[in-house]
Chain A
Amino acid sequence: MKKLFVVFLLLALVATLSLAKVKIQFWHAMGGWRIDFLAQQAEKFNATHPDIEVQVQYTGSYRDTLNKLIVSVQAGAAPHVVQVFDVGTQIMVDGGIAVPVGDLMANDPTFDLGKFLPQVLSYYRVNGKLYSMPFNSSNAILYYNKTIFKEAGLDPDKPPRTFEEFKEAARTITKYYQGNVVGFGFNLHSWFFEQLMAAQSAPMCDNNNGRTGRPTKAVFNNEAGLKIFEWLNDMKKEGTMIETKVEDWTGARNLFISQKAAMLLSSTSDVALMMNASKENGFEFGTAFLPTPADAPAGGAVIGGGSLWIIGGHPDKEIQAAWEFVKFMADTEQQIEWHKATGYFPVRKDAVEQLLFSGYYAQYPDHLTALMQLMLSEQNYNARGAIIGAYPEIRTAVEQNLEKMFGGELTPAEALKRAEEAATRAIKEYNEVY
Chain B
Amino acid sequence: MTRSSKKRLNTILIEIVLITVSFIFIMPIILAITMSLQPPESVFSFPPKFFPTAFHWKNYVDAFNTVPFARLILNSAIIAVMITGGKIITGTLAGYAFANFKFRGRSFAFSFLFATLFLPAETIMILPLFNLMNKLGWVNTYWAMTIPFMASATNTFLFRQHFMSIPSSLEDSARIDGAGPMTYFIKILLPLSKAIIGGATIINFVYSWNMYLWPLIITMEDKMKTVQIGVRMLISAESANNWGIIMAGTMIAVLPTLLLFFTLQDLFVRSLVRSGIKE
Contacts of A273 in B (CB 8 A): 239, 241
Q: Which of A57, A67, A74, A257 contacts B44 (CB 8 A)?
A: A257
Q: Which residues of B contact A71 (CB under 8 A)?
A: 126-127, 130-131, 217
Asked if A58 contacts B222 (CB within 8 A), the reply is yes
Q: How far is the CA of A258 from the CA of B46 in the complex (A)?
A: 10
Contact B217 A57 (CB under 8 A): no
Shortest Cβ distance from residue A338 to the other chain B in the assembled complex, whole angstroms: 14
Q: How far is the CA of A77 from the CA of B139 in the complex (A)?
A: 9
- Chain B residues lying within 8 Å of A59, measured Cβ to Cβ, are 220
Please measure, in the bound complex, the distance between the C-alpha atom of A49 and the C-alpha atom of B233, giving whole angstroms.
30
Q: Find out whether the CB atom of B216 lies under 8 angstroms from the CB atom of A249.
A: no
Chain B interface residue number, banded: 20 to 34
Output the residue of B44, B133, B139 with the most chain A CB within 10 A. B44
- Contact mask B82-104 → A, CB, 8 Å, 1/0? 00000000000000000000000
Interface centre among B126, B139, B239, B243 (most CB of A within 10 A): B239
Given contacts A58-B233, A60-B233, A64-B216, contact A33 B222 (CB under 8 A): no
A33 touching B220 by the CB < 8 A rule? Answer: no
Q: Report A-chain residues with C-beta under 8 Å of the C-beta of B221.
A: 57
CB distance from B127 to the nearest CB of A (A): 6
Q: List which A253-273 residues lie within 8 A (CB) of chain B.
A: 253-254, 257-258, 269, 273
For B66, the chain A residues whose CB sits under 8 A away are 32-33, 35
Give Cα distance in the complex from A76 to B130, angstroms. 11
Chain B, range 221-279, C-beta contacts under 8 Å to A: 221-222, 229, 232-241, 243
Shortest Cβ gap from A220 to chain B (Å): 25
Q: How large is the interface on A (under 10, 10 to 19, 20 to 34, 35 or more residues)?
A: 20 to 34
Interchain CB contact under 8 A, B239 and A75: no
Interface of B is mostly: helix
Report B8-58 residues with CB < 8 Å from chain A CB: 40-41, 44
Contact A34 B239 (CB under 8 A): yes
Is A31 a contact of B238 with CB atoms below 8 Å? yes
How many whole Å from B115's CB to the nearest CB in chain A? 26
A75 touching B241 by the CB < 8 A rule? no
B168 interfacial by beta-carbon distance below 8 Å: no
Instruction: For residue B261, give the distance in angstroms from its CB to the closest CB of chain A.
Output: 29
Question: Which residues of B line the A interface, CB within 8 A?
Answer: 40-41, 44, 66, 126-127, 130-131, 133-134, 139, 216-217, 220-222, 229, 232-241, 243
Q: List the interface of chain A (C-beta within 8 A of B).
A: 30-35, 57-61, 64, 67-68, 71-72, 74-77, 247, 249-250, 253-254, 257-258, 269, 273, 277, 280-282
Q: List 29 A-B contacts (CB under 8 A).
A: A31-B236, A31-B237, A31-B238, A31-B239, A32-B66, A32-B234, A32-B236, A32-B240, A58-B233, A60-B232, A60-B233, A61-B236, A61-B238, A67-B217, A68-B217, A68-B220, A71-B126, A71-B131, A74-B127, A74-B131, A75-B139, A77-B139, A250-B235, A250-B237, A254-B44, A257-B241, A273-B241, A280-B40, A281-B44
